[in-house]
Amino acid sequence: MNKIPKVEQHLKKSKHSEHIINGIKAVLANFPIGSGIASLISDYIPSQRELRLMEFTESIAKDLSELHDEINENYLKSDEYAFIFEKCYKGAVENYQKEKIIAFRAILVNSLIEFEITQTEKEFYLNLVENLSLLHIQVLSFLAFPKKYLELNGLDESLVSGGFSSFLPKVIPTANVEIIKLAFKDLYSYGFTNTDSSIFNTMTSSSGWSLLGDRVSKNGRNFINFISINL
């Protein structure tokens, strides 16, 4: 896979980007590990982007084939959908995290079927996926569908025991509890959860699964459903 995807051809042909890349390579040549990084710029990054683009396109084709009868063909031909299409493809190429790629894929597909979401809301949710971190999406996904989240990530349900400070770092082991609290606080400020980060420090008689309850607001569920594949 030595070709850069068509969506990136304008970057390859741009004299400015070529000069920048050549300049970076010239600087890197002065360092022992420079050749390895230069190779990464020339070969690995374009190849990985092409692979993501191919996999993303194949997934979209499969999804749309299964949902053929539900597709709004008039909306498919609209400028509004063209905007979402371009943004989602760009997002899929630029992001390596599987959760974000799935979110862009879901937005592309769900925008074409009869979702009770306006164009303004679609674009707002798309902007959120672009700007929220992977951690935000993981926390909200777990709160909305805890059992499904654990199953998809190969985690045992027994991990959900004790308080939030105890089990959230176990179900999301890539971040420490203080960082998770910050993501939790952000989601509350967006109105996506019914509980702020104070729940981490609150003593309750409940623990584990009984603590989860219905922590996700209606807006939060609208968002997480829209960025999820439900085939």
pLDDT for residue 3 is more than 50: no
The answer to whether position 94 is within a domain reads no
| Radius of gyration for the chain, computed over Cα atoms and rounded to the nearest angstrom | 21
The answer to whether position 51 is within a domain reads no
The answer to whether position 48 is within a domain reads no
For the chain, the maximum distance between any two Cα atoms, rounded to a whole number of angstroms, is 65
- Residue 210, token pair as written in the block: 């009984």
Identify the weakest region by mean pLDDT among 5-14, 61-70, 165-174. Answer: 5-14
Q: What is the mean pLDDT of residues 2-8?
A: 39
What band does 218 get if pLDDT is binned at 50, 70 and 90?
very high
**pLDDT at residue 164, rounded to an integer:** 87
The answer to whether position 34 is within a domain reads no
Q: pTM above the 0.95 mark?
A: no
Identify which of 188, 187, 149, 185 has the alpha carbon closest to the alpha carbon of residue 170. Answer: 149
For residue 231, give its domain range: 133-231
Mean pLDDT of the chain: 80
Q: What is the mean pLDDT of residues 218-229?
A: 93
The predicted-structure confidence for 96-152, as pLDDT tens digits, reads as follows 899 999 999 999 999 988 668 899 999 999 999 999 999 999 999 999 999 999 999
Identify which of 115, 131, 145, 123 has the alpha carbon closest to the alpha carbon of residue 226. Answer: 115
Using the Cα atoms of residue 203, residue 207, residue 210 and residue 212 in order, give the sign of their dihedral: positive
The predicted-structure confidence for 143-195, as pLDDT tens digits, reads as follows 999 999 999 999 999 999 888 888 999 999 999 999 999 999 999 999 999 98
Percentage above 90 pLDDT, the chain: 43
For residue 26, give Cα distances in angstroms to 20, 31, 47, 89, 192.
10, 10, 22, 31, 48
**pLDDT at residue 168, rounded to an integer:** 92
User: Are the beta carbons of 151 and 199 closer than 8 angstroms?
Assistant: no
The tally of domains found in the chain comes to 1
